[in-house]
């Protein structure tokens, strides 16, 4: 593990402290039963702000091989993710007139959840996925996948092999990258002169305004504004030409960029969001100053609510063994004294235990069997999807507790 002394993007040496979530375990290091007795490593989780380029980032860097060598997050288990992937693939096939002569590359392609839709449309695809277990699953599904980390070196190798991309996707990966400049330089090297780079990343403004502190964990090194992304891309000869705000992951940006030489005029949406960020104060430390206070208030409100329910004899479980759940539970110190178990749709997580708090992870069908009175919705970003799936549990009187942006029962 290493601690940064300068901004991960622009190299600025002034980093203003914003928030500390204490020393916590790695959010996706789900435990097996025989590992429960062993000591878990914990790492500082501290957030800082770079006033030079507006990038919000954490101070510690855990080696990516430790984080992503074997990974238990499979995108295909989220209906919301699949629907979003299918829609953007169909749109770009149409708008960019993609065909069998085209190539779409995705960095951090997971299990092929996105590339499968291009492949079905007859477009050649290539995934790059560093988690060996997930890359193997994608390959078994027929999605050509390189088990490697994307970056400048890999991009140069593909170019030498005669492979250039008409479209490059990078969904929810840029935040995980320690070498931001090398990663984006890889885009610039690999994309064709008239090609397109499409990046999705959680939006820092939504995180701050909605108090989404649980999206902070060691895998997420950075939290981006449009201003931070434009500066990063421009440094490598890429011009942002359009941007969309998406509800996914609690609020994300979808950025469209191309080689600067293409000279496409910026969209009205891009110009409007630039102005909105400036008016919001994206580059001003004061905009972020009360974040830590609001996070502490949310934590205490949630602990009070859960404590009252337990005192009344209510049984409580949780839904979603995702990283954000691990952050919330460990920071708020909510464990087996309060919750009976956690459920998750992914069979790869079932049978394991949440890091730090050691809550057992079970199949969601357990909610209808055990029928806890309340379920803490750790996967609050998928609230509509989860509640639709759990219609039977709700029909039996079960209720959900949504923790963000403030604890409430629904």
> Closest Cα partner for 74 from 314, 347, 297?
347
209 by Cβ neighbours in 10 Å (0-12 / 13-18 / 19+) ranks as middle
Residues 6+ apart with CB under 8 A from 111: 74, 75, 76, 134, 137, 138, 141, 143
What's the alpha-carbon Rg for the chain, to the nearest Å?
Answer: 21
| Whether the Cβ atoms of residue 165 and residue 196 lie closer than 8 Å to each other | no
Same domain for 123 and 254, yes or no, is: yes
Q: How confident is the model at residue 310 (pLDDT cuts 50, 70, 90)?
A: very high
Q: From the centroid of its chain, how far is CA 225?
A: 15
- Other CB atoms within a 10 A radius of the CB of residue 127 amount to 28
* CA atoms in the 13 A half-sphere facing the CB of 233: 24
Same domain for 111 and 6, yes or no, is: no
Q: Which two tokens stand for residue 135?
A: 């890359």
| In a domain? residue 96 | yes
Average pLDDT, whole number, for the chain? 95
Same domain for 295 and 283, yes or no, is: no
Whether the pLDDT of residue 245 is over 70: the answer is yes
Q: How confident is the model at residue 63 (pLDDT cuts 50, 70, 90)?
A: confident
Q: What is the pLDDT of residues 203-242, one digit of tens each?
A: 999 999 999 999 999 999 999 999 999 999 999 999 999 9
| Whether the Cβ atoms of residue 127 and residue 106 lie closer than 8 Å to each other | yes
Same domain for 277 and 332, yes or no, is: no
Domain closes at, from 287, 303, 321: 287
What is the residue whose two structure tokens read 């939006």? 203
Whether the pLDDT of residue 71 is over 90: the answer is no
d(CA 82, CA 218): 25
| In a domain? residue 68 | no
Find the DSSP H helices in 191-290: 204-209, 226-234, 268-280
Same domain for 237 and 303, yes or no, is: no
SS percent in the chain: helix, strand, coil, step 5: 40, 25, 40
Residues pairing with 375 in the sheet: 317, 400
pTM over 0.85: yes
| In a domain? residue 323 | yes
Q: Report which DSSP code applies to 40.
A: P
Residue, of 73 and 5, whose pLDDT is higher: 5
Whether the pLDDT of residue 93 is over 80: the answer is yes
| Whether the Cβ atoms of residue 329 and residue 302 lie closer than 8 Å to each other | no
293 by Cβ neighbours in 10 Å (0-12 / 13-18 / 19+) ranks as exposed
Same domain for 17 and 88, yes or no, is: no
Q: How confident is the model at residue 248 (pLDDT cuts 50, 70, 90)?
A: confident
Same domain for 117 and 129, yes or no, is: yes
pLDDT of residue 69: 56
d(CA 90, CA 359): 40
| In a domain? residue 66 | no
Same domain for 148 and 215, yes or no, is: yes
Same domain for 96 and 128, yes or no, is: yes
> Closest Cα partner for 143 from 112, 98, 186?
112
Same domain for 272 and 380, yes or no, is: no
| In a domain? residue 193 | yes
What is the CATH classification number for the domain harbouring 355?
A: 3.40.50.720
Residue, of 105 and 247, whose pLDDT is higher: 105
| In a domain? residue 154 | yes
Dihedral over Cα of 227, 229, 232, 237: its sign? negative
Q: How confident is the model at residue 250 (pLDDT cuts 50, 70, 90)?
A: confident
Same domain for 120 and 208, yes or no, is: yes
Phi, psi of 60 (to 5 degrees): -105, 140
Domain closes at, from 234, 260, 287: 287
pLDDT of residue 129: 95
> Closest Cα partner for 7 from 61, 46, 49, 63?
49
pLDDT of residue 75: 63
Average pLDDT over residues 168-196: 97
d(CA 375, CA 367): 9
Number of domains into which the chain is organized: 3
Q: What is the pLDDT of residues 316-375, one digit of tens each?
A: 999 999 899 999 999 999 999 999 999 999 998 999 999 999 999 999 999 999 999 999
| In a domain? residue 47 | yes
d(CA 357, CA 354): 6
pLDDT of residue 81: 85
d(CA 69, CA 48): 27
What is the CATH classification number for the domain harbouring 95?
A: 3.40.50.150
Domain containing residue 39: 2-59
Element (H, E) at 403: none
Same domain for 364 and 267, yes or no, is: no
Domain closes at, from 244, 272, 287: 287
What is the percent of the chain with per-residue pLDDT over 70, rounded to a whole number? Answer: 97
> Closest Cα partner for 328 from 307, 299, 305?
299
Q: What is the pLDDT of residues 138-159, one digit of tens each?
A: 999 999 999 999 999 999 999 9
pLDDT of residue 77: 63
């Amino acid at each position: 593990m290493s601690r940064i002394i300068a901004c991960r993007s622009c190299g600025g040496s002034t980093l203003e402290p914003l928030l500390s979530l204490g020393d916590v375990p790695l959010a996706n290091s789900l435990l097996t039963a025989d590992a429960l007795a062993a000591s878990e490593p914990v790492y500082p989780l501290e957030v800082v702000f770079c006033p030079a380029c507006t990038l919000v980032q954490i101070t510690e860097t855990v080696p990516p091989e430790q984080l992503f060598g074997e990974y238990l997050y499979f995108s295909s288990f989220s209906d919301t993710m699949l629907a979003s992937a299918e829609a953007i693939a169909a749109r770009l096939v149409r708008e960019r007139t993609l065909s069998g002569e085209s190539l779409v590359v995705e960095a951090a392609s997971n299990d092929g959840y996105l590339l499968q839709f291009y492949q079905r449309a007859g477009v050649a695809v290539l995934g790059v996925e560093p988690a060996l277990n997930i890359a193997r699953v994608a390959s078994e599904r027929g999605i050509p996948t390189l088990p490697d980390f994307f970056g400048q070196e890999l991009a140069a190798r593909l170019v030498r092999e005669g492979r250039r991309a008409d479209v490059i996707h990078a969904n929810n990966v840029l935040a995980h990258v320690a070498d931001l400049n090398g990663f984006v330089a890889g885009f610039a090297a690999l994309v064709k002169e008239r090609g397109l780079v499409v990046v999705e990343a959680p939006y820092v403004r939504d995180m701050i305004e909605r108090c989404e502190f649980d999206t902070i964990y060691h895998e997420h090194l950075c939290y981006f504004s449009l201003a931070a992304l434009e500066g990063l891309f421009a440094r490598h000869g890429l011009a942002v030409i359009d941007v969309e705000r998406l509800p996914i992951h609690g609020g994300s940006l979808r950025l469209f960029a191309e080689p600067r030489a293409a000279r496409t005029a910026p969209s009205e949406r891009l110009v409007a969001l630039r102005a909105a960020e400036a008016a919001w104060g994206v580059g001003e430390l004061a905009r972020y100053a009360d974040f830590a206070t609001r996070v502490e208030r949310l934590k205490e409100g949630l602990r009070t609510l859960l404590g009252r329910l337990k005192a009344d004899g209510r049984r409580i479980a949780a839904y979603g063994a995702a990283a954000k759940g691990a952050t919330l539970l460990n920071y708020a110190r909510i464990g087996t004294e309060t919750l009976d178990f956690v459920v998750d749709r992914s069979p790869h997580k079932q049978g394991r235990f949440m890091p730090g708090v050691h809550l057992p992870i079970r199949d969601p069908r357990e909610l209808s069997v055990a029928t806890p009175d309340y379920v803490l919705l750790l996967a609050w970003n998928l609230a509509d999807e989860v509640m639709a799936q759990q219609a039977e549990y709700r029909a039996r009187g079960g209720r959900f507790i949504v923790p963000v942006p403030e604890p409430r029962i629904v």
